Amino acid sequence: MGHRDQLLAGARQCLYERGYARTTARDIVAASGTNLASIGYHFGSKDALLTAAMIEAMNEWGDTLGRTMEVDQSLAPLERLRSVCDQVAASIQENRALWSASVDVFTQTDHQPELRERIASAFEAGRPAFAAMLGIDAESSPRTAHAVGSLVLMLISGLTVQWLLDPEHAPSGAELATAVRALLPAGG
């Protein structure tokens, strides 16, 4: 592995362990086994390196999220949603550092336009998949698919924050399904 890859691996490690704001160039050098000059040579700056590392972390988070979205298609849509929410909660418990880093990444988007654009693009690309998971076909109902995909994205984001901040009181998938049922008219 060359210095560039070592720097990326070290920066990702620092993101998971220290977060973006608390990571220094020296932290990255110590984690990667490289030197300060390598950061400038390969990335131009510590911030550019951390942005590249955050993009890699977001790709990993996207892959992890994709695996949690694999649900039994024979289930009713609300049961699929319950299952996904439970899988997200389990994934957060198994890999807290990754999920925490994903939230940390979101806080950096005001200062990192490239990162914001990549995340927004990934969200837009993910909406049809989230909708399809619940049985909504994006081709035949694009507006509905966008709305449903946005709802699932919002639920996952909110669930993530709740599990990271207060896991003892974070809702289960069953509780979220109960909440959705309570909002629907009888038989609706």
Query: Cα separation of 168 and 86, whole Å?
Result: 14
pLDDT for 188 beyond 70:
no
Predicted pLDDT of residue 187: 56
Lowest mean pLDDT among 10-14, 35-39, 105-109, 183-187: 183-187
Query: pLDDT, tens digit, for every residue of 104-150?
Result: 888 888 988 888 998 899 899 989 999 998 999 999 999 999 999 99
Task: Give the closest residue to 128 by CA, choosing from 110, 149, 147.
Answer: 149
Query: pLDDT, tens digit, for every residue of 40-73?
Result: 999 999 989 998 998 888 788 778 777 877 888 8
Mean pLDDT of 17-29: 93
Q: pTM for the whole thing?
A: 0.81
Q: Which whole-number Å values give the CA distances from 104 to 20, 68, 149, 161, 172, in the listed order?
A: 7, 20, 23, 11, 23
Cβ neighbours for 165, distance < 8 A, ≥ 6 positions apart: none
- Helices 46-68 and 3-18, packing angle to 10 deg: 70
Q: Where are the domains of the chain?
A: 54-183
Query: pLDDT, tens digit, for every residue of 143-163?
Result: 999 999 999 999 999 999 999
CATH of domain 54-183: 1.10.357
